[in-house]
Amino acid sequence: MENRSLKKVTSVWIITILVLFLASITLGIIMRFNQGTQLHLKPNTFYATLTTHGVTMIGIWAAAGLVAINYLLSRYVKTSAGLSIFALVFTVIGVVMLWMSTFAGNFHAAWTFLYPLPLAPYAAWKAWATNLFLWSLVVFGVGWLVWSVGMMAQILRNYSITEIFAWQHLTGKEPEKKTPPFILISSVSLIGIILCLLAAVVLLVFFFMEMYTTGVKNDALLMKNLTYFFGHTLANEALYLGLAAVYELMPEVGGRKKFGTTWYVALGWNCTMVFVLTAFFHHMYMDFVQPGGFQIVGQLASYFASLPAAAVTAFSVATLVYRNRIKWSFTNLLFFIGIIGWLIGGVGAVIDSTISNNIILHNTLWVPAHFHTYNAMGNVLLCLGFFWWAAHDFSGTRDTFRSHWPTLTLLLIGGFGFVLMFYLGGASSVPRRYAVYPEGIANGAPLATAAAWFAVVYLVGMLMVFLTIIRRCTKAFSPAS
Ligand code: HEM
């Protein structure tokens, strides 16, 4: 069962993530107002802001999923508060280094820092800023890798390899030892996270070899494959960590029977594990030197990575809520809306990953449209559901919806309005990553202004969530807890 130090470190994580989230949303709003021409940032300041926003967001929501499963794992296996503290310290140091590299050093190669852009002679900033940026990734990577390996090792003490993948369920017969869905999904996601962090280690070593040794030149295609294997996989696996929390908590909070692992749940998540690792190839469609076979794998894996997990989860959640008396607390509403946001964003992603569509939608605002949908209105809400539940658990307060409906209304209107402006921009070919839109793109700026105001509404909703959570989380430190 959860111990006091685990509660304390989880509280500090939750508060840290939410503070960084509010700051990063503000950076996002500044960018949208700049694109709407209400603000006038210098181009390199815009791109430094984009870089800070992108890396911080991807980092904190991957960490949020790890925080959730680290806490909930203590129901099944012994977990370590020490490793969580270690990862927290590394994350905070990493954030300070990252923000210094972008805001003080003006590093602005975006969260994808695509080779050879960060290196001389291409870099439009000082060499120390590239160094600091790459070392900040090392610090994040070490913290999360050690933490993830630690969690995986704890799972493997209680469950065999066959059991973590729930293979004993695939026969359809009732197995002797059942694998809880939470263990299956956490294991599948942790393995993906460990693999993509290892790819990041190789990528960073290649960068450092070229930076610190004369005569070394990396292969640009290999570097791009490694970058997207790392970044795309991390962003995707983060979502599945949030789903693990939903499988564990949604029936419990709703007063229903726990979800079980069936043959189709086991099969769905095993397929997801394999296909998520190869879906990143869809980022390489425009790299014509990439072997053709990988492009086909990219398209097929993009379909198969999302479909089994989405179908199985949508079915499980639908059977939970359809014609059943379920207790609708704020936690469960966040979970439910988060699943819907994840599915909508997933459909947008599949549309984009189809090669014939990608020729038109490539590098338009359709791309941030779909990933902001399954992040800001998907994974963020799933993790927030966990944060809300944990904060109420720590403080022993009743988790109701009644007094919080204005908060939810703000999040829904602000969040979906914000992403809708991205979709409308993408559908009319407004390019992504432009600090200011060229004159020929008539509706880029008005859509950006509208999006910025919707995001302000979302920010106010988040602030209200934050204030409630922070009050409850601090109770984890009171002697009575
Ligand atoms: C309301 C909250 C948010 C706002 C206002 C916002 C705003 C923005 C804006 C304006 C951009 C630049 C889009 C472009 O022109 O290409 C952007 C990019 C980005 N955002 Fe957000 N965002 C929000 C939430 C999130 C969340 C929750 C995540 C991830 C968990 C995220 C991850 C990213 C990433 C990775 C990029 C970089 C995209 C690229 O490099 O093309 N954002 N965001």
Residue of the nearest CA to atom 37 in ligand 1? Answer: 54
CB 90 within 8 A of CB 142: yes
Measured in angstroms, how far is the CA atom of residue 209 from the centroid of ligand 1? Answer: 31
Residue from 15, 329, 101, 397 nearest 321 by CA = 329
Whether 322 is in a domain gets the answer: yes
Q: Residue 266 above 80 pLDDT?
A: yes
Atom of ligand 1 nearest to the CA of 61: 30
Residue of the nearest CA to atom 12 in ligand 1? Answer: 433
pLDDT for residue 480: 66
CATH code for the domain in which residue 248 is found:
1.20.210.10
Model pLDDT for residues 322-341, shown as the tens digit of each residue: 877 888 999 999 999 999 99
| CA 468 to the chain's CA centroid | 23
DSSP state of 2: -
Q: Residue 158 above 90 pLDDT?
A: yes
pLDDT for residue 167: 96
Q: Which residues pair with 364 in a beta bridge?
A: 431
Please tell me the distance from the alpha carbon of residue 29 to that of residue 34, in angstroms, as a whole number.
8
Q: Residue 190 above 90 pLDDT?
A: yes
CB 341 within 8 A of CB 373: yes
Q: Residue 427 above 50 pLDDT?
A: yes
Measured in angstroms, how far is the CA atom of residue 145 from the centroid of ligand 1? Answer: 25
Summarize the confidence of residues 89-112 as an average pLDDT. 97
DSSP state of 431: B
Please tell me the distance from the alpha carbon of residue 336 to that of residue 264, in angstroms, as a whole number.
21
Q: Residue 97 above 80 pLDDT?
A: yes
DSSP state of 259: P
CB 386 within 8 A of CB 469: no
Q: Residue 319 above 50 pLDDT?
A: yes
pLDDT for residue 386: 98
What pTM, to 2 d.p., does this model score? Answer: 0.94
Q: ∠ at Cα 310 (306, 312), nearest 5°?
A: 130
pLDDT for residue 473: 94
Confidence of residue 2 (pLDDT cuts 50, 70, 90): low
Ligand 1 neighbours, Cβ below 6 Å, are 25, 28-29, 31-32, 50, 53-54, 57-58, 61, 110-112, 368, 372, 375-376, 380, 418, 432-433, 455, 458
Residue of the nearest CA to atom 32 in ligand 1? Answer: 54
Measured in angstroms, how far is the CA atom of residue 25 from the centroid of ligand 1? Answer: 8
Q: Residue 144 above 90 pLDDT?
A: yes
Whether 31 is in a domain gets the answer: yes
Number of separate domains in the chain: 1
Whether 388 is in a domain gets the answer: no
Residue 96: domain span: 4-339
Model pLDDT for residues 44-63, shown as the tens digit of each residue: 999 999 999 999 999 999 99
Measured in angstroms, how far is the CA atom of residue 32 from the centroid of ligand 1? Answer: 10
Helices (H), 322-402: 330-353, 355-361, 366-374, 380-395
Confidence of residue 165 (pLDDT cuts 50, 70, 90): very high
Measured in angstroms, how far is the CA atom of residue 53 from the centroid of ligand 1? Answer: 7
Confidence of residue 481 (pLDDT cuts 50, 70, 90): low
55, 372, 374, 430: residue to mutate for ligand 1 pocket, most atoms within 8 A of CB: 372
Whether 48 is in a domain gets the answer: yes
What percent of the chain has a predicted confidence (pLDDT) above 70?
99
pLDDT for residue 315: 85
Position of tokens 């704890």? 154
pLDDT for residue 297: 86
Q: Which of 129-143, 294-308, 424-438 has the lowest mean pLDDT?
A: 294-308
Whether 123 is in a domain gets the answer: yes
Measured in angstroms, how far is the CA atom of residue 345 from the centroid of ligand 1? Answer: 14
Summarize the confidence of residues 419-431 as an average pLDDT. 96
Residue of the nearest CA to atom 8 in ligand 1? Answer: 28
Kindly report the average pLDDT of the chain as a whole number: 93
Summarize the confidence of residues 70-78 as an average pLDDT. 95
What is each CA distance from 272 to 165, 229, 287, in whole angstroms? Answer: 11, 15, 25
Whether 345 is in a domain gets the answer: no
Q: Which of 431-435, 461-465, 472-476 has the lowest mean pLDDT?
A: 472-476
Model pLDDT for residues 32-43, shown as the tens digit of each residue: 999 999 999 999
| CA 347 to the chain's CA centroid | 17
Whether 451 is in a domain gets the answer: no
Q: Residue 376 above 70 pLDDT?
A: yes
Measured in angstroms, how far is the CA atom of residue 214 from the centroid of ligand 1? Answer: 37
Measured in angstroms, how far is the CA atom of residue 368 from the centroid of ligand 1? Answer: 6
39, 52, 57, 107: residue to mutate for ligand 1 pocket, most atoms within 8 A of CB: 57
Measured N-to-C along each axis, helices 220-253 and 380-395 cross at an angle, to the nearest 10 degrees, of: 40
Element (H, E) at 144: helix 127-158
CB 16 within 8 A of CB 67: no
Measured in angstroms, how far is the CA atom of residue 28 from the centroid of ligand 1? Answer: 6
Whether 431 is in a domain gets the answer: no
Please tell me the distance from the alpha carbon of residue 134 to that of residue 131, in angstroms, as a whole number.
5
pLDDT for residue 444: 96
**In sequence order, which residues have a C-beta less than 8 Å from that of residue 428 and are 6 or more positions away?**
443
Please tell me the distance from the alpha carbon of residue 339 to that of residue 337, in angstroms, as a whole number.
5
Residue of the nearest CA to atom 35 in ligand 1? Answer: 54
**In sequence order, which residues have a C-beta less than 8 Å from that of residue 102 and are 6 or more positions away?**
48, 49, 51, 52, 108, 129, 133
Residue of the nearest CA to atom 22 in ligand 1? Answer: 28
Please tell me the distance from the alpha carbon of residue 151 to that of residue 66, in angstroms, as a whole number.
9
pLDDT for residue 362: 87
Q: In this structure, what is the dihedral angle of CA atoms 285, 291, 297, 298, given to the nearest 10 degrees?
A: -20
Atom of ligand 1 nearest to the CA of 448: 10
Measured in angstroms, how far is the CA atom of residue 72 from the centroid of ligand 1? Answer: 29
CB 373 within 8 A of CB 348: yes
Please tell me the distance from the alpha carbon of residue 263 to that of residue 310, in angstroms, as a whole number.
16
